[in-house]
Amino acid sequence: MSIIAGNSLPDGFETYAEAKERRAYKIEILSGGNKAQRALADKLNRCKKGARCNCGACDVCTGLFRLRLFRQLQPILAAKPHWTRASVVPADLLFAEGDLANADLNAIRTKISKRLERWSLRDRIVIAGIDISLNTEDNKTVGWQLHLYMLVEGEHNIQLEEAVKATFPAEPTAHVPYHFKQRSGKMKAVTYLYKAIFWRRSRYTLYGRRQPRIRNLPLKRPELRELLEFLGRYPVDARLILRGIRRDGAHLIITRRLPASMKD
């Protein structure tokens, strides 16, 4: 059974059963943690239809939110022929393992939003999600890295790349801090920008090879507890940033006029 029954889902969306199974595993992990983590386990365990917890650590609530976002963004993405997918690892968003609690997600989101207000592409719609991974290199922990997945209205060109790079200086430890790709308004892009699963991102170099490899591995129990305790402090939509769009009841609508040069 899908989270929304009767509708076909794009690649990357989990079934309701998968979301419940992941949440049950997290409840088990949290139940063996500290007082705050055990309290979060109880909160997730009480989440049910009609009384959802709306918690950023809950797989079921995250899945429901992603599907609502999927539906709400359909007319906006379909209205414009060109979008650029951008992966960005900004500076100052790296936290040591054990220090993730010191990250203030609300302050980070506000900072990113203000940068987008001031950047050179002020007329563009931007839909951005904040993702988190625990990065390691050659079996040594680098830290918790918060990074951005963005959909930016417009074609992928040098102007757009330079605007992103100027707005978000790169994290020095990131080997590939920026990645861009041209996208259409197809909805698969939505699954990319707001992730539901978090990884230990292991970068390593094999003997005799120059090019390093990257593997996404499951988080270990203590790592998962730390991440869930952090996510559990925030509502399920706290990692979403919208520029040029606002909520109107159950819908998302474009809030700014396009300049004449960009009108279809």
- Give the three-class secondary structure for 261: helix
pLDDT range class, residue 245, cuts 50, 70, 90: very high
Over residues 178-199, mean pLDDT: 80
Residue 187 has a pLDDT of: 59
pTM of structure: 0.89
Task: Tell whether the model's pLDDT for residue 2 goes beyond 80.
Answer: no
Which of 58-62, 157-161, 193-197 comes out lowest in average pLDDT? 193-197
Span 89-105, pLDDT tens digits: 999 999 999 999 999 99
Domain contains 32:
yes
| Pairing outcome for strands 199-204 and 83-88 | unpaired
Rg (CA), the chain: 19
Question: 9 to each of 70, 217, 247, how far by Cα in Å?
Answer: 10, 25, 23
pLDDT of residue 1: 37
Q: Is 244 contained in some domain?
A: yes
Q: How do residues 30-48 score in pLDDT, each as one tens digit?
A: 999 999 999 999 999 999 9
The answer to whether residue 239 is domain-embedded is: yes
In a domain, 8, yes or no: no
Position 5 in a domain? no
Give the residue numbers spanning the domain of 186.
Answer: 16-262
2 is a domain residue? no
Q: Is the pLDDT of residue 198 over 50?
A: yes
Beta bridge partners of 216: 201
For the chain, give the percent of residues with pLDDT over 90.
Answer: 69
Average pLDDT value over all residues in the chain: 89
- The predicted pLDDT at position 163 comes to 97
Best-predicted range by mean pLDDT (6-15, 69-78, 182-191, 231-240): 231-240
Number of domains in the chain: 1
**Can you tell me the distance from the alpha carbon of 92 to that of 231, in angstroms, rounded to the nearest whole number?**
19
- Evaluate whether residue 1 is within a structural domain: no
| In a domain? residue 9 | no
Residue 142 has pLDDT above 60, yes or no: yes
Where does the pLDDT of residue 211 fall: very low under 50, low under 70, confident under 90, or very high at 90 and above? confident
CA 158, 162, 168: angle at the middle one, nearest 5?
145
| C-alpha span between 172 and 90 (Å, rounded) | 9
pLDDT digits (tens, 9 = 90+) for 116-134: 999 999 889 999 999 999 9
